[in-house]
């Protein structure tokens, strides 16, 4: 029996086509998000040539096959459902069978809300690559986009920096930087991911101060 083709150039368009339309109209998790996650992963793969790039690429493109809104009560199940669906679809496409478990684990473990430990190097790279897209200029745009979809305000009108109140990122978009995004560099699984995350977070923290200054706080 002929071995399935495992080169990235062969699989990339097939994986992108499989993922097309899975965002459900969510512009923060559309095809451009998948491309950015794969781009981030390639930066990390340069430092980890021992990782299986095909597993990483497949997980990057298919990690949001099942995309539930941030405020959906079953949000923490989305990555498990994505992994299950990806395994089924990849098997149907004659993806290398020996790699299916690794792809499924990387997809399951990428999610912040699922709280599944990334145990393989490939899963760690995918998790870091996805979280990097929540930081920097793109992360800022995605943060406000998602907040708008949830009906959140931009920031607390009197105390945007949360100096004298509890943070509440369900109500105020700007609070999300301190509630979640500021924690991401410390949660990175790779040294390369941590360095990029710290650099991108610095931009968000600068923006936060500028926002408050322009608002008169």
Residues 28 and 115 in one domain: yes
Nearest to 209, CA basis, from 138, 155, 172: 155
Q: Tokens 């040294």 appear where?
A: 191
**How deeply is 91 buried, as exposed, middle or buried, from its count of CB atoms within 10 A (0-12, 13-18, 19+)?**
exposed
Q: pLDDT digit string (tens) for 186-215?
A: 999 999 999 999 999 999 999 999 999 997
Residues 14 and 96 in one domain: yes
Residues spanned by the domain of 100: 8-126
Per-residue pLDDT at 172 exceeds 80: yes
Is residue 26, in this structure, part of any structural domain at all? yes
Is residue 1, in this structure, part of any structural domain at all? no
Per-residue pLDDT at 145 exceeds 50: yes
Q: Among 74, 104, 126, where does a domain finish? A: 126
Domain count, the chain: 2
Residues 110 and 39 in one domain: yes
Looking at the whole model, is its pTM more than 0.85? yes
What's 37's domain CATH number? 1.10.3210.50
């Amino acid at each position: 029996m002929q071995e399935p083709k495992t080169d990235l150039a062969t699989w990339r368009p097939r994986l992108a086509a499989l993922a097309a339309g899975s965002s459900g109209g969510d512009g923060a998790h559309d095809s451009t998000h998948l491309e950015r996650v794969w781009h981030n992963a390639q930066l990390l793969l340069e430092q980890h040539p021992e990782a299986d790039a095909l597993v990483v690429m497949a997980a990057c493109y298919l990690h949001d096959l099942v995309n539930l809104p941030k405020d959906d009560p079953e949000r923490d199940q989305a990555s498990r459902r994505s992994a299950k669906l990806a395994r089924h679809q990849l098997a149907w496409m004659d993806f290398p069978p020996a790699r299916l478990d690794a792809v499924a684990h990387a997809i399951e473990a990428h999610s912040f809300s699922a709280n599944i430990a990334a145990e393989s190097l490939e899963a760690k790279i995918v998790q870091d690559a996805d979280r990097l897209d929540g930081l920097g200029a793109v992360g800022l745009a995605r943060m406000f986009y998602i907040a708008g979809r949830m009906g959140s305000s931009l920031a607390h009108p009197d105390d945007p920096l949360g100096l004298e109140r509890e943070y509440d990122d369900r109500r105020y978009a700007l609070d999300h930087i301190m509630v979640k995004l500021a924690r991401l560099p410390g949660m990175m699984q790779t040294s390369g991911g941590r360095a990029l995350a710290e650099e991108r977070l610095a931009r968000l923290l600068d923006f936060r101060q500028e926002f408050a200054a322009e608002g008169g706080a």
